[in-house]
Structure 1
Amino acid sequence: MSSCGLDFGTSNTTLGSIIGDAPVLCALEPGHSTILSAIFYEVDGAVLIGRKAIDAYVEGAPGRLLRSLKSVLGTSLIDETTMVGRQRTGFRDIIAYYIGAVKRRAEQASGRELRNLVHGRPVHFVDNNPLADRKAEATLREIARSVGFDEVTFQFEPIAAALDYEREVTREEIALIADIGGGTSDFSIVRLSPERHLKADRKADILANDGVRIGGTDFDRQLSLGTVMPLFGFRSPMKRAGLDVPSGYFHDLATWANINRMYDPKVMIELRQVRHESKHPKLLDRLVRVLDEQRGHTLAMEVEAAKIALADAKTAAIPFEWVEPGLNVAIARPDLVRHTAQLAKRIGARIDLCLGQAQLAADGVDAVFLTGGSVRLAHVRKAITAALPAARVVEGDTFGAVGKGLTIEASRRYGPG
């Protein structure tokens, strides 16, 4: 039997174990140590996860796609069910299937039975709600045990990233770890050194811990509402003066965890009535088509792809020819910044809170270690680094640092084998 570290992320998941003396992430898909946090239920009962799940959906296979599974933790959705095929399935069972499949793949890749787990978790699953936060962790523990893990403990994701970074440290320093993931932004200020890396108990070295429930999926939502949803009727007027088309439809369609709600037959009946009362019914026709074909996730994936492209390019085009001939939208980097500036500002504001916890001035931090996919967005990076102008900026393994750190912690707690 063996210990392992699991980073179950909103967008991507990794699982690692110690090979020799080093943490190694298992190949969860051919050629990839990351697997997308996605699951697809085919109508014939087959279940796909990761990239195959996305491929099946994009290719038009009939079934139900779910992404951002982690985002339901700490919300009322975790105790609800959703239609999968001809029956309703609980979100707990959906997450359990996904984590169980990841465990089996990792065991096959590593040739080891994995029984002892250090599970990653954000600093806050839910902002300003300790009860919901504890419930989310308890739910993950129950799920992990239900799929075959005996011992299940937790470590904050930014602390795990710090353990991975510490392997490179050559002298004592104080580092701020910024883990900007798909669902949350988490920060820790930690005292690191080669000597401290050997210690089992690191509580005294953790100077501050904070986080906020803002991540890449929130940037997707705001970008979608600002640039894409108006094409489908968002903020368009009704025939009755002073009224707009109800906004709830568009907020759900722009939110990964809520997209499947829009496929409910009751919603379709409502929308067709709204369409008759809309001043611009052709916009609602586009929305109805998207939902009739259950292509809401296609919209979300196109927006996500544009956001990722804008990390390197000045503009990104989203083709919606499948909705209506000639329908396209071009998004420029300033559009991304304008629609998500407040999110970046709120992320950056957490650093001052961390400094206050640690009783440090900004120049007391030697290095900023950046990890998580959303740190690739220039205005997010600027919001973080501007708060610590004298600190050295260190690039982490974007999708692997947390998983490797959790694996290091698992080896310390349970032994490598």
Structure 2
Amino acid sequence: MSIGFDFGTANCSVAHMDDQTPVLLALENDQAYIPSTLAAPTRDSVSEHLFRHRHIEPNGEVGERLLRRSIALNREEDIDLQVEDVAFGHAALDVYLSDPQETYYVKSPKSFLGAMGLHDIQLAFFEDLVCAMMANIKSQIALSGVDSSNVVIGRPINFQGRGGEDSNRQAEAILRSAARRVGFRHIEFQFEPVAAGLEYESTLTQDKTVLVVDIGGGTTDCSLIQMGPTWRHKDQRQASLIAHSGQRVGGNDLDIHLAFKQLMYPFGYKSQTLSGLEMPMTQFWNPIAINDVTAQQSFYARENLKDLKHMYKNAAQPEKLARLLTVYHETLGHRVVKNAEDIKIALSEYPQVTTQLDIVSDQVSLTVEREAMLEAIDAPKRKMMSLVEEALTQGGVKPDAVYMTGGSARSPILRSAVKQLLPDVPVVSGSYFGSVTAGLARWSKLCFG
């Protein structure tokens, strides 16, 4: 038996084939989709959790060094790590929201895997992070009685990272190594938009040229594919793949840009010093750039606290900078972006939304209009549409249909933008979250029988 595994930026899901039908497995509270999140008492708890409670050995000398350091630091903090201290999915978000200051919280670690210039100890930590999340998911697969020895893991056309193919190789290597450590024996990869196309292909009664637009949390991938009865059962599909494009821009970027342009004013964005100078913009971008390792490290670094205090001391509106200091001390960047995500969803139905920003003991009421949201997210939206145009230019043919998938493809704003590019081509969709996973399960059956 084999499975398809979508280790997604926003959510993870797993499916296996029951005869000719993909079946998604329950991964959290009988739900098939588990958010790609982890919460722990400290950053160093991740490696110790793997070794102590998952019985997974560290990877090589660097992994052993990371484990020794992690255990030593936890002992210094007098942390006696219990298995329930590391949480995943919705449970992880609940832990973080209940006590952000005392919680190490990670969302979308897949976004970090292609980052270049990392030290070996950082790469080992990212692998342990992925390994912990995979180990939790594999334990849930085991409860279902499904044999998961053989797995096809989805991957974007291009992982997030500035290294091009070096970023892609690094990210895939981390995923492969983590998968092996948790017990997957035979591992293959498939492009996520191609997998989504395989699920759509199962519904076709005649051959078509289809543009698959997969807009996930961290990446947008487009594939122009020939599909239909002629191709359905072939395990070699290179000849059917006409064009690919992909970039590190997705639903998270829409949320981050909306947070930056509309929610950071109460924290001092665009405010001035006593001498009339504008506050440095990066101090308002970095805390909410949750998919950028460098930005997060820069804002939450100990030495940045001195700069933030200096900004507060010299602020014309110090009460706003006091809130930014609270973001630093309480690690509230993820919470602000979550507020932006909720606003984005609500504005798909309403012309304006009023929300409350909870900043520990402080509350700020904000009203955001739909037009302001559209302006805020215009830059990442244009990047997404440029990828659609790139795939069409590469392919040199007009598709018979556009198949949109991925959680962010639900957005009426993005669907309308695709329709404007291809006004005479039908835009269809299946399961926004499940089509990639189902396609990966279909491909696993072709790969492993």
Q: 2:87 aligns with which of 43, 48, 58?
A: 48
Answer whether contact 1:347 1:383 (CA < 8 A) is retained. no
2:104 alignment counterpart? 64
Answer whether contact 1:286 1:323 (CA < 8 A) is retained. no
Provide the C-alpha distance between the structure 1 equivalents of 2:107 and 2:118, rounded to a whole number of angstroms: 14
Provide the C-alpha distance between the structure 2 equivalents of 1:80 and 1:305, rounded to a whole number of angstroms: 37
Answer whether contact 1:347 1:384 (CA < 8 A) is retained. no
Question: Which secondary structure state, in structure 2, belongs to the residue aligned with residue 13 of structure 1?
Answer: strand
1:274 alignment counterpart? 311
1:85 alignment counterpart? none
**190-199 or 263-272, which deviates more:** 263-272
Provide the C-alpha distance between the structure 2 equivalents of 1:26 and 1:228, rounded to a whole number of angstroms: 37
Provide the C-alpha distance between the structure 2 equivalents of 1:119 and 1:287, rounded to a whole number of angstroms: 39
Matching residue's letter, 2:191: F
**249-258 or 157-166, which deviates more:** 249-258
Question: Which secondary structure state, in structure 2, belongs to the residue aligned with residue 208 of structure 1?
Answer: strand
- Report deviation, 1:294: 2.9
1:289 alignment counterpart? 326
1:162 alignment counterpart? 197
**Alignment map for 1:105-116 (pairs within 5 Å):** 105-109=140-144, 111-116=145-150
1:338 alignment counterpart? 375
2:28 alignment counterpart? 29
1:51-97, Cα deviation, whole Å (9 max, x unpaired): 11011122237321110111001104865768xxxxx9822211111
C-alpha RMSD of the superposition: 2.2
Question: Which secondary structure state, in structure 1, belongs to the residue aligned with residue 149 of structure 2?
Answer: strand
1:252 alignment counterpart? 286
Q: 1:186 aligns with which of 207, 221, 234?
A: 221
Question: Among the aligned pairs, what percent are the same residue?
Answer: 31
Q: 1:372 aligns with which of 376, 382, 406?
A: 406
1:244-283, Cα deviation, whole Å (9 max, x unpaired): 3222222121112458634443333331122112222111
Provide the C-alpha distance between the structure 1 equivalents of 2:166 and 2:124, rounded to a whole number of angstroms: 25
1:127-169, Cα deviation, whole Å (9 max, x unpaired): 6722222222222212211221122221110000000111111
**47-56 or 266-275, which deviates more:** 266-275
- Report deviation, 1:6: 1.1
Provide the C-alpha distance between the structure 2 equivalents of 1:321 and 1:407, rounded to a whole number of angstroms: 42
Question: Which secondary structure state, in structure 2, belongs to the residue aligned with residue 244 of structure 1?
Answer: coil
Matching residue's letter, 2:106: L
- Report deviation, 1:321: 4.6
Answer whether contact 1:208 1:355 (CA < 8 A) is retained. yes
- Report deviation, 1:373: 1.6
Report the CA distance shift for 1:79/1:112 in structure 2 as closer, same or farther (over 3 A). farther
**Alignment map for 1:12-411 (pairs within 5 Å):** 12-42=11-41, 45=81, 46-60=85-99, 62-76=102-116, 79=119, 90-109=125-144, 111-125=145-159, 126=161, 129-241=164-276, 243-257=277-291, 258=293, 261=297, 262-323=299-360, 327-360=364-397, 364-411=398-445
Answer whether contact 2:12 2:33 (CA < 8 A) is retained. yes
Provide the C-alpha distance between the structure 2 equivalents of 1:70 and 1:78, rounded to a whole number of angstroms: 15
1:200-223, Cα deviation, whole Å (9 max, x unpaired): 222111111111211011111110
Provide the C-alpha distance between the structure 1 equivalents of 2:259 and 2:188, rounded to a whole number of angstroms: 37
Aligned residue pair count: 404
Answer whether contact 2:7 2:154 (CA < 8 A) is retained. yes
**258-267 or 31-40, which deviates more:** 258-267
Provide the C-alpha distance between the structure 1 equivalents of 2:349 and 2:12, rounded to a whole number of angstroms: 24
- Report deviation, 1:359: 2.0
Unaligned regions of 5+ residues in structure 2, if any? Answer: 43-78
TM (norm. structure 2) is 0.84
Answer whether contact 1:16 1:403 (CA < 8 A) is retained. yes
Question: Which secondary structure state, in structure 2, belongs to the residue aligned with residue 403 of structure 1?
Answer: helix
Provide the C-alpha distance between the structure 2 equivalents of 1:66 and 1:269, rounded to a whole number of angstroms: 25
Matching residue's letter, 2:19: G
